[in-house]
Amino acid sequence: MPTERSNAPSKEELLEYLCTFTKSEEIYRRYHDLAGTPDQKAAYLKEIEAYAVEHHLIIPEIVQLELPEQFTEQTYYSHLPIGRGSDVNVARHLRYTPVFHYSTSFFEIYYALSGTIHYTLNDVPCVLPQGDISFIAPGVPRSIEVFDDSVLLSIHVRHDTFAAAFSNTLRYDNILSDFFLSNLYSREPISNVLFHAEGDPDLRDLVLDMYREAHYSDDFSFRMLNHLLSVFFIRILRRYEDQAVVDAGGQGRAGSPVPAMLSYIYDHFTEISLDELAEKFNYSASHCSRLIRTHTGRGFQSILRDVRMQQACSVLLTTGDSVAEVSGKVGYANPESFIRAFEKQFGVSPAAFRKQNAVS
């Protein structure tokens, strides 16, 4: 496939490309098929040894890879857009890859482009039919088994920049805001959310657009990826939230009221106070404070300051507003107080942050 943006493939070409076996997949398939024939397998291993070493294939008889227990943005994906400052990346799982267990420091979204995907979460077998979508939290042990023509695309979303990049996702009371907020703040995060999207062609096209942006990147790709992912979230919620399946161990929408409180804080961060939050949810201020601390391990003021700083980062990087204007937009009447809080949080002034992170 061409790699230049000017030659980026159409959706039809991209679908054909993603469904066609790569050389690495062909090698994995042959290696898998020879499992019961030791002599033929030994001969084949000699034949593919140079390629397997060069391309770091997971073939224990040839390549002694030390796979990390947890993949991070800075290590395993350092060569991909997510490791170069982007918030989002999309990768294809190579079919017939030998099964291995792993976790991630980032959010991972499985999308079954074709066929049926078999995988595990916390050692529990799961099935993802074509078109279905599974949101998986950082730190959750998982494995993937694709030993047929099925195609799995994996969307990686940074944990450390999620709140700033996708703050609007967190500002409303819905199952995805509960999922992400629980993983940003809760001591008992929701581990996964499954959506039965019934092969929705609009969602498929959004995933293909994200894949194309990630692999045919230009100076605008990281912003397009963020925009497309936000649209992806909205379409899933609009059409399939009522059928969402939440892990049994998570708090979910019917458990603690704190996820809804956190969403309310995000939606009213400029003027919200603990007393106002307590009144909104019919609690005393002291009980509201205890609920938040028990659920998150943090106090109301700490969370509010965090939300305001995330919003400040977004405004600094997406507008030309002065520091004083940014201060007012995120709920600080005194710009000096805002600057002190920002420097305490990030170690640099708002002006320096904007300069360091300016898009060239």
Query: For the segment 260-277, what is each residue's pLDDT rounded down to a tens digit?
Result: 899 899 989 999 999 999
Look over the chain and give the mean of its residue pLDDT values, rounded to a whole number: 89
258-356 carries CATH number 1.10.10.60: yes
User: pLDDT per residue over 308-328, tens digit each?
Assistant: 998 898 888 888 999 999 999
Helices 285-296, 300-318: axis angle to 10 degrees equals 70
* 200 confidence band (pLDDT: 50, 70, 90): very high
Report the C-alpha gap between 208 and 224 in whole angstroms.
Answer: 13
A 10 A CB-CB count for 201 gives 9
Residue ranges of the chain that CATH labels 1.10.10.60: 258-356
DSSP 356: H
pLDDT for 83 = 61
Report the C-alpha gap between 198 and 129 in whole angstroms.
Answer: 8
Please, what is the Cα angle at 109 between 104 and 114, to 5 degrees?
Answer: 125
Find all residues with CB under 8 Å of 97, minimum gap 6, and list them.
28, 58, 144, 146
| CA nearest neighbour of 97 among 146, 46, 61 | 146
Percent of the chain with pLDDT over 90: 69
pLDDT for 249 = 39
Residue 291 has pLDDT above 70, yes or no: yes
Q: How far is CA 211 from CA 18, 222, 225, 253, in A?
A: 10, 12, 9, 31
Find all residues with CB under 8 Å of 340, minimum gap 6, and list them.
none
Q: How far is CA 314 from CA 119, 164, 308, in A?
A: 36, 6, 10
DSSP 125: E
Q: In Å, how far from its chain's centre is CA 319? A: 25
Q: Using DSSP, state whether 278 is helix, strand or coil.
A: helix
Report the C-alpha gap between 86 and 207 in whole angstroms.
Answer: 16
Instruction: Identify the H or E element spanning 89.
Output: strand 88-92
Residue 2: HSE in the Cβ half-sphere, 13 Å Cα cutoff? 8
Residue 329 has pLDDT above 50, yes or no: yes
| pTM, entire model | 0.87
pLDDT for 86 = 83
Kindly report which listed range (11-25, 39-53, 81-95, 129-143) carries the lowest average pLDDT score. Answer: 81-95
Find all residues with CB under 8 Å of 58, minimum gap 6, and list them.
65, 67, 97, 98, 100
Burial letters 113-149, b for 16+ CB under 10 A, else e: bbbebbbebeeeebebebbbbbbbbbebebebbbeee
| CA nearest neighbour of 19 among 82, 145, 112 | 112
CATH architecture of structural domain 67-246: Sandwich (2.60)
Q: How far is CA 264 from CA 54, 170, 184, 246, in A?
A: 51, 9, 15, 21
Query: Which position has the higher pLDDT, 65 or 12?
Result: 12
* Adjacent-strand bridge partners of 156: 89, 108
